Amino acid sequence: MLAILASFLSAGCPVLASAEDGAAAPAKTIASPLENRAGGSVRVAGIVLKWLRTDKAANYARAEKLITEAAHGGAQLVCTTECFLDGYAIKDKSIPLDQYRALGEPIPGGMYFQRLTSLADRLDIYLVAGMLEADGDKRYNTAVLISPAGKLLGRYRKHQLEHELVRNTPGTETPVFPTPFGKLGIMICADRRDPNLVKQLKAVGADLLICPSGGMFGAVKNDPIVQARSQENAAPIVFVHPAEFLVTDAQGKIEKQVLLGDRLEIAHADIGTATDTNEVVYFDLRIPVKSN
């Protein structure tokens, strides 16, 4: 954490101690946006990784290796795909309902959620991670934001569920989260297709948007949608998907696009083969001017 702390304090960033879970956050936690300032940058890393359906242990182990690589590559903000942990099990409705529901993680009590917080703390990174959340009888397609101190800063629950509605509950809130690189808004996959939802994220103060995803991708089916949302809201978007990493700027221009294979999930027999295309993709994102 010391390296990140020194970097942002030298840029004039104050320190804010707060956490969603109500526990007293250590003084080293940075969670305050920069003052109106442009010209700085934050290194973002996307974990472009194929899913293994329902295998939380294997998905975590594979992602942990790449998240660690991202931190060693200087990333300050790291993002996984949508539901990286359960391998987007909702896609397969033949999975028995009890088995599917058991894949959900309570937040913050879940075993793998706790491992993610420890990982973010050890690596001194902000981590956006997609997972199936268990909250009582309900299941949510959720992305959590974890601080470099290993604290839960907040969560976002996917709104636009479409085929997921048979087993998951839609989210209703559009929170934004203060960070040293601006106020961060999160949306998940199909949410990017709803202009009003993205406008709401911008209206409540989002300076930049992160979109863990796992559906349509590529120059025809995906990129124009993300570009339109950036242009409409004058906000950069980082899109992380099992086969694509995309960054658009506040004018809707594509700043980086990496396509990696044409599959979203693989079988265990495919691990380590040419089909198992995965990569940590970096981008140095210019820090936007703080929202009023």
Provide the annotated active-site residues.
Answer: 82, 158, 189
Cα–Cα dist 268/149, whole Å: 34
How far CA 141 is from CA of 90, 213, 255, 278, in Å, comes to 9, 11, 28, 22
Crossing angle of helices 111-123 and 56-72, rounded to 10°: 10
Q: Which stretches does DSSP call E strand in 97-224?
A: 126-135, 138-146, 152-157, 176-179, 182-186, 208-212
Structure tokens at 4: 């990140």
- DSSP state for residue 109 in the 8-state scheme: T
- What are the backbone dihedrals phi and psi of residue 248, each rounded to the nearest 5 degrees, phi first? -115, 150
> How are the residues of the chain apportioned to helix, strand and coil, as percentages rounded to the nearest 5?
30, 25, 45
